[in-house]
Amino acid sequence: MTTIDMIVTPAVGLIDEPLHILVRNLPPLAEVTIRASLRDDRGTPWNSSAIYQADARGTIDLSRIAPISGSYAGVNEDGLIASLRPAIDLPVRTFDNSSIAPLLVEFIAEAGGREVARAAAHRLYVAAGVQVTTLREHGLSGLFFQQSASVTRPGILVLGGSSGKLAFASQVAALLAAHGFPSLALAYFGVEGLPPDLVEIPVEYFSAATKWLTSRRCVSSEGLGVIGRSRGAELALLLGSRFPQIRSVVACCPSSIVWNGLRGNRLTDSPAWRSSDREIPFASLTSARLADLRSRTFQASPVTLTPLFEAALNGPILEEAIIPVEQINGPILLISGDDDRMWPSARMGDQIVERLAARRHRFPVVHRRYAKAGHLMRTPGVPTTVLHNTFEYGGEPSAQAAANRAAWDETIAFFRASLCLHSPAAEPAASGARR
Q: Which helix (H) or strand (E) holds 368?
A: strand 365-370
Is there a contact between 427 and 180 (Cβ–Cβ < 8 Å)?
Answer: yes
Q: What dotted CATH number matches 5-124?
A: 2.60.40.2240
Whole-Å CA distances, 252 to 246, 336, 403, 424:
17, 6, 11, 23
Q: What is the pLDDT along the chain (435 residues), one digit of tens a residue?
A: 689 999 999 999 999 999 999 999 999 999 999 999 998 888 888 999 999 999 999 999 999 999 999 999 999 989 999 999 888 766 556 676 678 999 999 999 999 989 999 999 999 999 999 999 999 999 999 999 999 777 899 999 999 998 767 888 999 999 999 999 999 999 999 999 999 999 999 999 999 999 999 999 999 988 999 999 999 999 999 999 999 999 999 999 999 999 999 998 899 999 999 999 899 999 999 999 999 999 999 999 889 999 999 999 999 999 999 999 999 999 999 999 999 999 999 999 999 999 999 999 999 999 999 999 999 899 999 998 765 578 899 999 889 999 999 999 999 999 999 998 654 434 433 334 332
Alpha-carbon Rg for the chain, nearest whole angstrom, is 22
| Confidence (pTM) | 0.93
Buried b (16+ CB within 10 A) or exposed e, 304-329: ebbebbebbbeeebeeebbbebbebb
What is the DSSP code (8-state) at residue 321?
Answer: G
Beta strands in 187-223 (DSSP E): 201-202
- Does the bond joining 244 to the residue before it have cis omega, within 30 degrees of 0? no
Interatomic CA distance for residues 82 and 399, integer angstroms = 10
Residues of the chain with CATH 2.60.40.2240: 5-124
Number of Cβ atoms within 10 Å of the Cβ of 175: 30
- The yes/no answer on whether domain 131-418 falls in CATH 3.40.50.1820 is yes
What is the structure's pLDDT at 433? 37
What is the DSSP code (8-state) at residue 173?
Answer: H
Residue among 121, 114, 123, 96 at smallest CA distance from 41: 96
Residues of the chain with CATH 3.40.50.1820: 131-418
Is there a contact between 356 and 367 (Cβ–Cβ < 8 Å)?
Answer: no
Whole-Å CA distances, 87 to 84, 93, 174, 195:
9, 11, 29, 37
